[in-house]
Amino acid sequence: MTTSSPNKSRPLANFHSTVWGYHFLSYTPQLTEITNQEKIEVDEYKETIRKMLVEAPDASHYISSDVFKKFTEQDGKFKETLTNDVQGLLSLYEASHLRVRDEEILEEALTFTTTHLESIVSNLSNNNSLKVEVTEALSQPIRMTLPRMGARKYISIYEKMMHTTICF
């Protein structure tokens, strides 16, 4: 164990003097007040920005549910030919979850698609990625899923779909 002697001093660094001087060591900023003109300009900017935010277009747009009428018969029931397209039926099922109150056509679409998807899923082969997609949608639609969890779930489904289409 070594002991340091009290007479031994640390070497000091020999730095060059600063070009800036020592002005900032003793500098005290003076408080400045905003002039009346500056206050008026700030208020004008605030008002301009408030108007821009209020008038900004909304990210979501209302689309009438009447666009789904082309999938219905004269009596208002959905066409049975829709059941031949499982992917289309699944898309209609997901779209029906975006309904708002009193949209009868989307209420009917939800009933129609749920009934048919539940009967179709049992007929799909077990290794079919479409079966997995339909099963997942029936248990929890995309609209009701947390975005990260839904992305994670569907990325694996689509990876399997890509793998099967490339292999065949």
Domain extents for the chain? 71-167
How far apart, in whole angstroms, are the C-alpha atoms of residue 11 and residue 2?
Answer: 19
Burial of 92 (0-12, 13-18, 19+ CB in 10 A): buried
Domain 71-167 maps to which CATH number in 3.40.50.2020, 3.50.50.60, 3.40.47.10, 1.50.10.130? 1.50.10.130
pLDDT of residue 114: 92
Assigned token pair, 38: 């500056």
pLDDT of residue 12: 73
The per-residue pLDDT string of the chain (168 residues; one tens digit each, 9 = 90 and over) reads 555 556 677 777 777 777 766 666 666 666 667 778 888 988 898 888 887 777 766 556 667 788 888 888 888 888 888 888 888 899 899 888 888 888 889 899 999 999 999 998 888 877 677 888 888 888 888 777 777 877 877 787 777 777 666 655
Q: Which amino acid is located at 131 in the chain?
A: K
pLDDT of residue 23: 64
pLDDT of residue 89: 92
DSSP-derived secondary structure letter, 59: S
pLDDT of residue 46: 86
Residue of 112, 129, 113, 136 whose CA lies nearest to 165? 129
pLDDT of residue 163: 67
